[in-house]
Amino acid sequence: MAGKKKTKKKTGKKFRFVPPLLLFLVLAGTLAGLGYIIFLYPGTSRKTSLPKIATVHKKPPQIIYEEPIKADNTIHLITPSGYKETVTLPHQPLVAIIIDDMGYKTRIPNKLLDLDLDLTFSFLPHGPHTTEQMKKAAALGRDIMLHLPMEARDARWNPGPGGMFTPMDKNQLKNIFQEDLASVPLAVGVNNHMGSKFTADTNAMTTVLNFIREHNLFFVDSLTTANSVGWNLARKKGIKTAKRNVFLDNSRDREKTIIQIKALIRLARRQGSAVGIGHPYPATLAALESCRDILRKQVKVAPVHLLVK
């Protein structure tokens, strides 16, 4: 009997430690399972990261493409990662396109006048068709300018009737200016025809700019030479002024002129405005006709008086 009691005590002692052991194993298994799910389960990672779209704003996005400007003056910017952002522009970029040498021919100038773009027309003084074309431009509400003939560096280039030359004194220049302006009486501004020598001469340009200021006109420097002092002098005198950014048709080739028009558009979008100068050439007319939709969608073609400052 005593042996049996002893056996019962041993059995009871053995099973008394089983429940805590089982509890420990269950807890350990649970923790291991949670650790596997959180840290090692396929599709998870030890680090969490924000979506790419949330990190684009830390630095200005690198733009690789710009959609055309919308009617509400917004533009969609697209980055290399595919992130899209809509930006409202402070104002639609302005492009002024001045057509020089008006008044001497009829067919192409008249077609340019009929083109449904707000072009600016600069008339040579004393041209055989200046008066009739000037009146048509005025009826259409276009800006009209005096295309003032000035001395070129190369003496073989004659600026034509009404030309100004550096050896002339103040009275000579004044008489010529008044005659030239009288032949384009509806002019609101002046730009130079040729003038690579004249516009680089400070004394000559000071005299002419004083006349321009007296008649309350603005001045656009055609920049026929990098040495021109016209734009800077006009600013110093308080004359509203601008300078040519792009010559559109030096090549007189349609495709090359289209390239120049697109360069003008890009420049205007980058800096807010730009001035282009073209001429009444068949290639220029064809290029402008081809670029009408691009010009309308991406910039506002405006009279040049809106760009002078």
pLDDT bracket for residue 2 (50, 70, 90): very low
Residue 240 has what pLDDT? 98
Q: What is the pLDDT of residues 151-210, one digit of tens each?
A: 999 999 999 999 999 999 999 999 999 999 999 999 999 999 999 999 999 999 999 999
Convert 117-148 to b/e letters by CB count within 10 Å (16 or more is b). Answer: ebbbbbbbbbbebbeebbebbeeeebbbbbbb
pTM for the model stands at 0.73
Single-letter code of the amino acid located at 156: R
Residue 45 has what pLDDT? 42
pLDDT > 80? residue 85: no
What's the rounded Cα separation, in Å, for the pair 284 and 121?
14
The chain-wide mean pLDDT, for the chain, equals 84
Residue 263 has what pLDDT? 97
Q: How far is CA 48 from CA 33, 39, 51, in A?
A: 20, 11, 10
What's the rounded Cα separation, in Å, for the pair 1 and 76?
98
pLDDT bracket for residue 91 (50, 70, 90): confident
Residue 9 has what pLDDT? 44
Residue 64: alpha-carbon gap to chain centroid = 16
Residue 81: alpha-carbon gap to chain centroid = 25
- Strands, E assignment, the chain: 65-66, 74-78, 84-88, 94-102, 120-123, 144-150, 189-194, 218-221, 241-243, 246-247, 273-278, 300-301
Angle between helical axes of 202-214 and 170-183 (0-180°, round to 10): 50
Q: What is the pLDDT of residues 18-33, one digit of tens each?
A: 566 566 666 666 666 6
What's the rounded Cα separation, in Å, for the pair 18 and 16?
6
Q: What is the pLDDT of residues 241-262, one digit of tens each?
A: 999 999 999 999 999 999 999 9
Cβ neighbours of residue 111 closer than 8 Å, sequence gap 6 or more: 285
Q: What is the pLDDT of residues 120-153, one digit of tens each?
A: 999 999 999 999 999 999 999 999 999 999 999 9
Structure tokens, 284: 């220029």
Structure tokens, 171: 């009275």
Residue 287 has what pLDDT? 98
Mean pLDDT of all residues in 63-81: 55
What's the rounded Cα separation, in Å, for the pair 223 and 202?
14
Q: Residues 122, 309, 117, 109: what is their CA dihedral angle, to the nearest 10 degrees?
A: 10
pLDDT bracket for residue 79 (50, 70, 90): low
**Least confident segment among 48-52, 103-107, 162-166, 281-285:** 48-52
